[in-house]
């Protein structure tokens, strides 16, 4: 398995995040060589400047966190984010359209954003906590058909985060091109490793530094390790 740091999207999407918080996030991302940071659109320009001499990707969100923005609004958000320096876009699908079985709309929306960002990485957030197994399967198939880069489990702001079972289900139906980003409630090394074992190739978390610190072998008792929430808590972060 690759080094854990290469899986991590180091995230701060808190509504109250300050400039100092984002500076800290970016410094940590550079220190640990994380795959990316994920920040709100407001902080994309800041992250671009802070990370200009690094290989850390700059991610941001579109249609976040509820996904009910119009297609045109999401498209503008995505284009604006790329212009400001984002290299990866995490977009929330229109859950209402999915629940209505308006699959053509869901597919068209994804294609609209994909084309608007002109080859940059697109991650499609499906918010698994609100979906049935059949809906998760359907969204995986749509992501296969639209040739996006990632299908992402959760915003971290829903009623629950990622579960191993949902990642396994996605992994069962994804094609060889589509990758999986697990996010929401991933707070410890055991949960992160379980998601990777289930098929995830990215981990969205605000606990990246803690994961890296406990990844190193220690002689102390394992009984001191924190228990994970296994994606069941209302985490309010990725």
Looking at the annotation, which residues are catalytic? 90, 152, 181
Query: Which tokens hold the place of 103?
Result: 């699959």
Exposed, middle or buried: residue 144 (CB in 10 Å: 0-12, 13-18, 19+)? middle
- Distance of alpha carbon 111 from its chain centroid, rounded? 18
- DSSP output for 186-224: --SHHHHHHHHHHT-SEEEES-HHHHHHHHS---S-GGG
**C-alpha distances out from residue 64 to 73, 84, 188, 189, Å:** 11, 17, 25, 27
CA distance 131 to 160: 11
């Amino acid at each position: 398995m690759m080094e854990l740091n290469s899986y991590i999207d180091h995230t701060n999407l808190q509504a109250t995040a300050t400039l100092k918080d984002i500076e800290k996030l970016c410094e940590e991302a550079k220190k640990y060589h994380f795959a990316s940071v994920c920040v709100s659109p407001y902080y994309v320009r800041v992250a671009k400047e802070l990370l200009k001499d690094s290989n850390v990707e700059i991610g941001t969100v579109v249609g976040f966190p509820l996904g009910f923005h119009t297609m045109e609004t999401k498209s503008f958000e995505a284009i604006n984010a790329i212009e400001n320096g984002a290299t990866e876009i995490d977009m929330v699908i229109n859950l209402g359209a999915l629940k209505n079985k308006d699959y053509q709309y869901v597919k068209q929306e994804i294609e609209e954003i994909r084309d608007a960002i002109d080859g940059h990485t697109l991650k499609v957030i499906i918010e698994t906590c609100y979906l049935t197994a059949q809906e998760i399967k359907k969204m995986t198939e749509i992501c296969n058909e639209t040739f996006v880069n990632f299908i992402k489990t959760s915003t971290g702001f829903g009623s629950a985060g990622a579960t191993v079972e949902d990642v396994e289900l996605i992994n069962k139906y994804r094609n060889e091109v589509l990758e999986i980003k697990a996010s929401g409630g991933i707070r410890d090394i055991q949960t992160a490793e379980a998601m990777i074992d289930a098929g995830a190739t990215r981990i969205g978390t605000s606990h990246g530094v803690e994961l890296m610190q406990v990844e190193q072998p220690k002689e102390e008792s394992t009984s001191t390790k924190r228990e994970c929430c296994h994606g069941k808590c209302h985490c309010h972060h990725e």
